Structures are given as C-alpha cells and as structure tokens.
C-alpha cells in the first residue's frame, strides 16, 4: 500500500471512493460561505450605498480571518493533533452560524465584517484540513486528489460571476444557501473515513510551525507557493473589473452581461487546469508542472493588458489560458509540502503554507488598484508576473535538491 512517499500500491483501500466523495462534497459545501458575499454584493449595492472601503472590507475580512485562523491552527498543530472529521465538522457548523447571523444586521453595520472575519477563521478548519484528509488516502495520486479539491473550489470562486450575469437574486439568498450547505457539510464529513496514511500525533510545540522555514526543501516549496499566490487572488479579484472596462469600449452599453460571463469563463476554466495539473504532476513531476504553469501564467500577466480595448474574443481566449494556467499548479504546492513534511506534521505544514499564502494575497489584491491608477490597465497586471517568475526559481532550486526525490515517487 502506498503513502505520501509514492511507493508502489497494490490495493485500493476500502472506503476510499466513498470517503473522498464525501470529502469533496463537504469541502465545497463548507467553503460556500467564503463566496457568499461575492454572490450577494450586486444585490447589496442596489439597496445600500457602500463606500469603497466598506465594499473591500466585506471581502477582505474573510481572508484576514482565514489568516488568523490558520496561524492559530498551525501554532497549536490542530490538524495533526485532533480528529480531522471533528475539527472540520465543528469549523463548518460555527461558520454556518456566523454566516447566517449576518442577516440580523444591515450590510453597513460594523458587525458584518466581524462575522465575516469569524467565518474566515473557521475556514482554517476546513480548507487545509480537507487537504490533509485527502492526503491520508494518497496512493501515487496525491496531486490528482488535491487537484480535484482545488478544481471544485475554483468553480465555487467563479460561480458568483455567473449568478451576477443573470441577476434577480435577493442578496440574502446566497447567505442562507451557503449556511445551509455548510451545515450539511458538517454532518456529511463525520461519515468519511480517515485513510491509512496517518502518523502518531506530535507533541504540542509552538515551534512545530517553524519547520516550514527551517527545512530547506519545505522553504523552497513555500516560496514557490508564495509566488503563485501573489498572482492568483489578485487576478481573480481584478480580472472582472479589467474585462468590464475593456468590453465597455468595444461592445458599448450591452457589455455588462458579456463581461460577467467572460469572467466566469476565465476563472471557471481553472477547474480544468487544476485537474490536468494534478494528473500531469503525478506522472511528470511537481516541480516541472508548477514551473511550466507559472511560466505560462506569468506570460499571460505580462501580455493580457496589451489587449485592453482589443477584440473581445481574443481577450477572453487569453483570459481563459491565464485562468487555466494560474490554478494548474495550486494543488501541487500543497502536494509537494505534504510529501516533504514529517508524516506527523503534514496538517500543520499545509496550514502554515495556506496561512502565509493568503496573507500575501492581501498585499497584492490591494496593491493592484494603485498600479492601475499609475500606469493604466495596459501594464497593470505586469506587476503580478513578478510572483510566478520568482516561484519558478524556487521550484527549480527544489528540483535540484536531493530531497526532491521524495516528491511524486521520485519524479520530482
């Protein structure tokens, strides 16, 4: 039977298919509370006059909460010391309660970003915990398993743009639906089994989290991930604004729906990239696939602005290539960290990785509008290319490290 070291497997563990199916449904359902505000924002704008700061706070507060939650979870090594299903369940149920409690307040009330912050904290017990649970079932397919989770979450990130394109949905509905889904996730995950690739829980040491930096191969994998995250969420956050501005010049007053559908296509296409990236990385190597993905996405970041006000079909085509390549590597950084970590600290290392990655996204997301003001959309996205190109350097250095033989069964 195989584990994270990629050794040959001869048996399919009992319960794997059902457990992974329950995990996939539970992960997407629980993470829906993350996207609730994005799906509701258009309706909120129709009823309340939000300032730019208030609007940004509705979305950034959940990411700030996630950073805080992952920091606490990593310092206490919660994913490696607690039952994964109970941690996931408790986090999903608290998130559901915090999310639906928003309906008791007006969107401009100070309690709303606080509740979004609590929701984000709870996602620290869902997202990295789900990846740890998936890793316990890995049999030379860790990249694909995590890629499957990332693909589903990518569609979740894209879905608000599709919902906005058709409109007519009361702003309260996404909050109610997301809380109901998160409650269902908390129930379903209890019926999933934990796979055979588990280790004895480590002792409680606050210094466990520092292994992500002290260990050189882990440090390089995390630096690659930081390069990826510098680009990813800023692209997701601002691509829709870019394409609305571009289409407004080429398609005129009827451009809004087309721009929303184009944004959904560009972001949603990433689901294909996540699956393909996982499948290829398990066979060709993770450092190779991540480097190639970042090379393509970096080139897209450098060039797509040159198409501003250009032919809509060409803008969408390049946007979809960018959307596919920018997420194709995402799950492979997590798979790499899982394979390089001490077996007893896999959950902690995955949590540290997501913590530092999402912390960096807060900087790049808020930086881009200032760049747009300085140089316009033609060159604004070029600042995002810095991340993937530095990420390539880190992953190629990892590829040359002897420890890389532990990645993807020696395929690195």
- Indicate if the pLDDT at residue 37 is higher than 50: yes
Residue range(s) defining the domain that contains residue 363: 16-407
> Does residue 88 fall inside a structural domain?
yes
Look at residue 194 and tell me if it is in a domain: yes
For the chain, the domain total comes to 1
Is residue 377 in a domain? yes
The better pLDDT of the pair 244, 231 is held by 231
Q: What is the pLDDT of residue 210?
A: 84
Q: Which tokens go with 378?
A: 């033609």
**DSSP 3-state assignment of 144?**
helix
The answer to whether residue 11 is domain-embedded is: no
Mean pLDDT across 380-401: 95
Residue 309: inside a domain: yes
Given a contact cutoff of 8 angstroms between Cβ atoms, the answer to whether 167 and 92 are in contact is no
Dihedral angle over CA of 233, 235, 241, 243, nearest 10: -150
**Residue 140 and residue 199 in contact, taking contact as beta carbons nearer than 8 Å:** no
Q: Which of 406, 345, 379, 360 is nearest to 224 (CA)?
A: 360
CATH of the domain at 25: 1.20.1250.20
| 299-317 tens-digit pLDDT | 999 999 999 989 999 999 9
Q: What is the pLDDT of residue 375?
A: 94
Tell me which of 231 and 35 has the higher pLDDT. 231
**Quick check: is 1 in a domain?**
no
Residue 80 within any structural domain of the chain: yes
Does 412 map to a domain?
no
């Amino acid at each position: 039977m195989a584990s994270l070291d990629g050794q040959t497997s001869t048996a399919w563990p009992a319960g794997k298919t059902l457990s992974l199916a329950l995990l996939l449904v539970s992960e997407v359902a629980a993470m829906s509370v993350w996207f609730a505000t994005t799906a509701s924002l258009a309706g909120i704008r129709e009823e309340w006059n939000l300032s730019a700061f208030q609007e940004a706070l509705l979305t950034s507060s959940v990411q700030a909460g996630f950073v805080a939650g992952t920091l606490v979870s990593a310092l206490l090594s919660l994913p490696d010391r607690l039952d994964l299903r109970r941690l996931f369940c408790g986090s999903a149920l608290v998130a559901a309660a915090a999310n639906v409690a928003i309906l008791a307040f007006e969107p401009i009330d100070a309690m709303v970003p606080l509740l979004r912050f609590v929701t984000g904290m709870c996602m620290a017990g869902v997202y990295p915990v789900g990846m740890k649970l998936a890793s316990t079932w890995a049999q030379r397919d860790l990249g694909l398993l995590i890629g499957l989770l990332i693909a589903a979450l990518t569609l979740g990130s894209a879905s608000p743009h599709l919902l906005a394109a058709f409109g007519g949905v009361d702003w309260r509905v996404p909050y109610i639906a997301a809380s109901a889904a998160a409650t269902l996730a908390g129930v379903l995950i209890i019926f999933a089994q934990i796979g055979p690739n588990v280790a004895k829980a480590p002792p409680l040491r606050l210094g466990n989290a520092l292994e992500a930096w002290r260990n050189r191969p882990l440090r390089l994998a995390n630096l690659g991930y930081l390069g990826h995250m510098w680009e990813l969420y800023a692209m997701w956050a601002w691509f829709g604004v870019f394409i609305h501005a571009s289409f407004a010049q080429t398609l005129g007053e009827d451009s809004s729906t087309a721009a929303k559908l184009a944004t959904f296509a560009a972001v949603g296409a990433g689901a294909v990239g996540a699956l393909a990236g996982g499948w290829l990385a398990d066979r060709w190597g993770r450092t190779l696939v991540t480097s190639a993905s970042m090379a393509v996405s970096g080139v897209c970041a450098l060039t797509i602005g040159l198409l501003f006000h250009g032919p809509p079909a060409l803008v969408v085509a390049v946007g979809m290539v960018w959307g596919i390549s920018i997420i194709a590597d995402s799950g492979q950084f997590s798979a790499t960290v899982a394979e390089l970590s001490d077996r007893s600290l896999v959950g902690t290392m995955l949590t540290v990785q997501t913590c530092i990655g999402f912390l960096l996204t807060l900087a790049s997301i808020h930086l881009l509008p200032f760049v747009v003001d300085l140089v316009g959309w033609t060159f604004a996205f070029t600042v995002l290319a810095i991340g993937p190109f530095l990420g390539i350097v880190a992953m190629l250095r990892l590829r040359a490290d002897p420890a890389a033989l532990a990645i993807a069964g020696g395929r690195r």
